[in-house]
């Protein structure tokens, strides 16, 4: 189809790609998003009403660079104790190798 035929198309790399059909897509309106940390912001979505999030970009460790460890039944501490001996052995071996040079 060409643009001259009256159908909406988009030219991309000398090819014509049909555009989305009108009237079949849901409404895309502005909504308010609330996070558990207290941060709120406006965005656009097909979702009706407000969104309530548990974690957002203001409090997620990937975006903030701060890691929060949630210790369940001492698992993190048990892991650290288990591998503390092997980490100590690695540092002693590295120190001995550096001293022998």
* One domain for residues 31 and 49: yes
pLDDT band at 30; cut points 50, 70, 90: very high
- Contacts for 5 with CB less than 8 Å, ≥ 6 apart: none
Secondary structure letter of residue 9 according to DSSP: E
Q: What is the largest CA-CA distance in the chain?
A: 82
Q: Does residue 19 fall inside a structural domain?
A: no
Overall number of domains in the chain: 2
The number of helices, as runs of H, and strands, as runs of E, in the chain is 2, 5
Q: How confident is the prediction for the chain on average, in pLDDT?
A: 75
Pairwise pLDDT comparison (8 vs 20), residue with the higher score? 20
Taking residues 61-66, what's their average pLDDT? 69
| Tokens 């503390």 found at | 84
pLDDT: is 53 or 13 the higher one? 53
Inside any domain, residue 92: yes
Give pLDDT tens digits for 89-98: 777 777 777 7
Tell me: do 37 and 49 sit in the same domain. Answer: yes
Q: Are residues 59 and 83 in the same domain?
A: no
Domain match, 60 and 32 both: yes
Domain range spanning residue 91? Answer: 69-101
């Amino acid at each position: 189809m060409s643009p001259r035929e009256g159908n909406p198309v988009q030219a991309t790399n000398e090819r014509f790609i049909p555009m989305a059909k009108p009237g079949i897509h849901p409404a895309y309106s502005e909504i308010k998003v609330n996070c558990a940390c207290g941060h709120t912001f406006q965005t656009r979505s097909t979702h009706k009403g407000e969104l309530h999030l548990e974690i957002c970009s203001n409090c997620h460790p990937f975006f903030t660079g701060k890691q929060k460890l949630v210790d369940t039944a001492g698992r993190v501490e048990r892991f650290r104790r288990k591998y503390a001996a092997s980490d100590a052995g690695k540092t002693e071996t590295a120190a001995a190798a550096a001293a022998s040079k």
